[in-house]
Amino acid sequence: MLGEDDDVFDSVTWESPSAPTYDAGPSAPTGPGFRQSTAESEPGHGPHDPKWEGYLITSVKDPVKELADTKDAYVSYLVSAKTNLPIFSTPNPSARRRFQDFVFLRNHLSKDFPACVVPPLPDKHRLEYVTGDRFSPEFMERRRADLHRFLQRLSRHPTLQRSTLLRAFFESTEWHVTMHQHVAHPPGPEHTTGVIDSISDTLLNAFSRVRKPDERFLAMREGVDKFEEGIVLTERLWSRIRNRTNDGTLEPGEDLTGDYHDMAVAVQGLGFLESGITDPLNHFSNTLLEFSALLRHTTQTTTDPFLIHLHSLLQYSHANRAVLKLRDQKQMDFEELSDYLSGVTSERDRSYLKDRVDALRGADDDRSRVEKMRKLDAKIKELQDAVQTAHETSDAFSDETLREQTVFQYAKEAEMKEMLGNLADGQMEFYKAAMDEWDRIIPIIQRIRVDV
């Protein structure tokens, strides 16, 4: 049971251990996720606002195939960081990690910080735009980009960026030893079995909805629903655009890249027939080929990364939804335990009245009555402690969830700015290059003499 001084979330590294501090210098990053501090005394800082102690800038690069000529071959990635967080022992930690190390990191951060929105890892089976096996350059680059985004999300989180496991992920030279130690001795208080564990899940989950919903969390869930609906619709529309632009679609007549290529071949064929304008027609054919290549290049460098980032953002929102659902579950646990306590208390009162009636009738078994009442009183005391613990846990989880929504909102805004900015830059690059190609062909076409 929780004492008055116990913290429901004491697995969170709220206070960083003593470590040397590093001067960020004039080039220290700013913006959501990179704040130096948000002290409670600062103007506008509320009780549910997150607090950053510094910045953490991460990167994933240099994928290398290890044990290349063996059946145990795998790909390792160089993970590095730049930070002024005091929990780190160096301002520029780095290490090589494989995909399974990222899986371990993600799984155990989720266990250690259940109230935090831990970002998901890239789906191993969602690589439809990548050709080749898992050791192909295309596959390794796509996974590198996905893992880079995963670490970026962790680094923007004010709690996860200060976790000891993330520090070990970047710094430890004996990572496998760290993993075994973390599994054997996870952070936080030891789990003790009590009345909550003895009550079946059927009781605690008898109702699928919170009986007394909090309007704040209802509004959050509605916002998540609308956001995900917008992401799904955008993903569907841009997937349709991609299929109509890039080759590989099964629908004939909807492949612009292939259509421009076929048109270039047709114009080139006309050049052989029209001897007087063969050269201008060949130039026009080459322009069509260049435009077709530009469409394909834009799909690969702009549209595909946009769609992948869009789907990743949707999965990130699902992780946020899971935290909201878990908060509801904590409240339902408290409500169901409260009802259970009320039922046991009523049973004790009925037994007491029945015993009084039996005593008046002369049918009172004093020893059995006393033992029964003792057991009921002990059960009520245990349930009262459990209800108090559930209430404290529910309140603490609600407070953490409010902070998490602010953190997630910051991260979402930063990612949408990056994602839409990259899309706009890619489209501008495409149209500028296309205009240059068509501008070059206009003088050549104008030189064709037409005798009237």
Helix (H, G, I), strand (E, B) or coil at 20: coil
238 with 306: CB under 8 angstroms? yes
Question: Phi and psi of 151, rounded to 5°?
Answer: -70, -35
Q: For position 329, what pLDDT does the model report?
A: 86
In degrees and rounded to multiples of 5, residue 3 shows phi and psi of -90, 180
For the chain, what's the residue count? 452
Give the pLDDT score at 368. Answer: 66
Q: How many CA atoms lie within 13 A of 288 on its CB side?
A: 18
For position 35, what pLDDT does the model report?
A: 41
CA-based nearest residue to 105, from 151, 49, 61, 142? 151
By the 8 A CB rule, do 293 and 258 touch?
no
Could you give the C-alpha distances from 70 to 28, 75, 295, in angstroms and in order? 44, 13, 40
> Of 281, 275, 207, which Cα lies nearest the Cα of 447?
281
- The per-residue pLDDT string of the chain (452 residues; one tens digit each, 9 = 90 and over) reads 444 444 434 433 333 333 333 333 334 444 433 443 444 445 556 666 788 889 999 999 999 988 877 888 899 999 999 999 999 999 999 999 999 999 999 999 999 999 999 999 987 655 544 555 778 888 899 999 999 999 999 999 999 999 999 999 999 988 877 777 777 667 655 444 454 454 544 444 544 577 788 889 899 999 999 999 999 999 999 998 888 886 554 444 458 888 888 899 998 888 888 777 888 899 999 999 999 999 999 998 999 999 999 999 999 999 999 999 988 888 788 878 887 777 777 776 676 666 665 565 555 556 666 677 777 777 878 888 888 888 888 888 888 999 999 999 999 999 999 999 999 999 999 999 999 999 999 999 888 887 65
Of 116, 140, 114, 111, residue with least CA distance to 127: 140
